[in-house]
């Protein structure tokens, strides 16, 4: 992933002499890797919450919508394009920002981390994937609340939308799919019941290929398009 250049970093800092209030888009970017649901955070380099971990975010310009702003953040800050975003909630607490009034609209987006390797550069903000169940203690502003709200919506959408296809590789085992569901729902699922329900939904196609490296191993499945 490309990381924001210093010029862009300067442009997203809230200034007291700018607009009377600012509207920002903050993105909860989720990925699934090595059996764990993860979220991408950036480290703040200036201001009251210097060295705190934050969600990727940016200020909405006068000539763009909040959705366009969210896509700008994904494109300019972490080099991700053409990703579906889902709006989560508005955060309007009067004192949520130490400089001035800032209203935030949060979104979540789903990607496959293996397809978007992080490209660390010098003299730019740090960027890192964290397990959702092992978040750092120094998360700035109200971003922990935003993460919790986005995760709760993700759990709801898992039951009604076929979002697993956005997080799993093109082919996967039923064990890997169950691991994803358990990671999102934060609970263990009965193996037999899970497989029965998933296969009855006719969401998957058996490729007939056995996963490499596992003798007599499980078959690989893919999502039916």
pLDDT at 79: 78
User: Are 105 and 188 found together in one domain?
Assistant: no
Q: Match 């196609």 to its residue by tokens.
A: 205
User: Are 213 and 149 found together in one domain?
Assistant: no
Domain count, the chain: 2
Neighbours of 202 (CB within 10 A): 8
- Would you say how long the chain is, in residues? 225
Q: What CATH code is carried by the domain that includes residue 18?
A: 3.90.79.10
User: Are 19 and 115 found together in one domain?
Assistant: yes
* Helix 174-185, helix 191-200: angle, nearest 10: 110
Beta bridge partners of 13: none
Residues 179 and 197: beta-carbon distance below 8 Å = no
Question: Do the domain assignments include residue 98?
Answer: yes
208: Cα within 13 Å, side-chain hemisphere: 0
Instruction: Confirm whether pTM is higher than 0.75.
Output: yes
Residue 122: pLDDT over 70: no
Question: Do the domain assignments include residue 35?
Answer: yes
pLDDT tens per residue, range 43-73:
877 777 788 899 999 999 999 999 999 999 9
* 7 Cβ neighbours under 8 A, 6+ residues apart: none
**Range 164-179 average pLDDT:** 93
User: Are 139 and 120 found together in one domain?
Assistant: yes
Question: Do the domain assignments include residue 1?
Answer: no
In which band, very low, low, confident or very high, does the pLDDT at 96 lie, cut at 50, 70 and 90?
A: confident
Neighbours of 90 (CB within 10 A): 11
The H or E element containing residue 145 is helix 143-160
What is the β-pairing status of strands 21-33 and 101-111? parallel
User: Are 172 and 81 found together in one domain?
Assistant: no
SS3 state of residue 98: coil
- Residue 171 gets which letter from DSSP? S
Question: Do the domain assignments include residue 112?
Answer: yes
Parent domain of 185:
168-223
User: Are 15 and 68 found together in one domain?
Assistant: yes
């Amino acid at each position: 992933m490309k990381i924001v250049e210093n010029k862009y970093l300067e442009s997203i800092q809230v200034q007291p002499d700018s607009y009377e209030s600012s509207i920002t888009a903050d993105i909860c970017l989720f990925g699934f890797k090595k059996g764990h649901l993860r979220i991408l955070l950036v480290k703040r380099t200036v201001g009251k919450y210097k060295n705190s971990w934050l969600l990727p975010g940016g200020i909405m310009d006068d000539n763009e919508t909040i959705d366009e702003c969210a896509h700008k953040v994904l494109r300019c800050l972490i080099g991700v394009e053409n990703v579906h975003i889902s709006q989560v909630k508005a955060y309007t607490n009067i004192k949520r920002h130490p400089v001035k009034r800032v209203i935030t609209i949060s979104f979540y987006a789903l990607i496959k981390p293996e397809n978007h390797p992080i490209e660390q550069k010098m003299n730019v903000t740090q960027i890192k994937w964290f397990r959702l169940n092992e978040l750092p203690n120094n998360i700035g502003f109200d971003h922990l609340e935003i993460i919790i709200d986005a995760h709760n919506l993700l759990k709801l959408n898992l039951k009604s939308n076929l979002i697993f296809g956005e997080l799993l590789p093109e082919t996967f085992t039923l064990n890997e799919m169950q691991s994803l569901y358990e990671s999102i729902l934060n609970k263990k699922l009965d193996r037999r019941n899970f497989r029965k329900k998933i296969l009855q939904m006719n969401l998957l196609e058996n490729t007939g290929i056995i996963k490499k490296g596992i003798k007599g191993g499980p078959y690989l499945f893919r999502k039916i398009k």
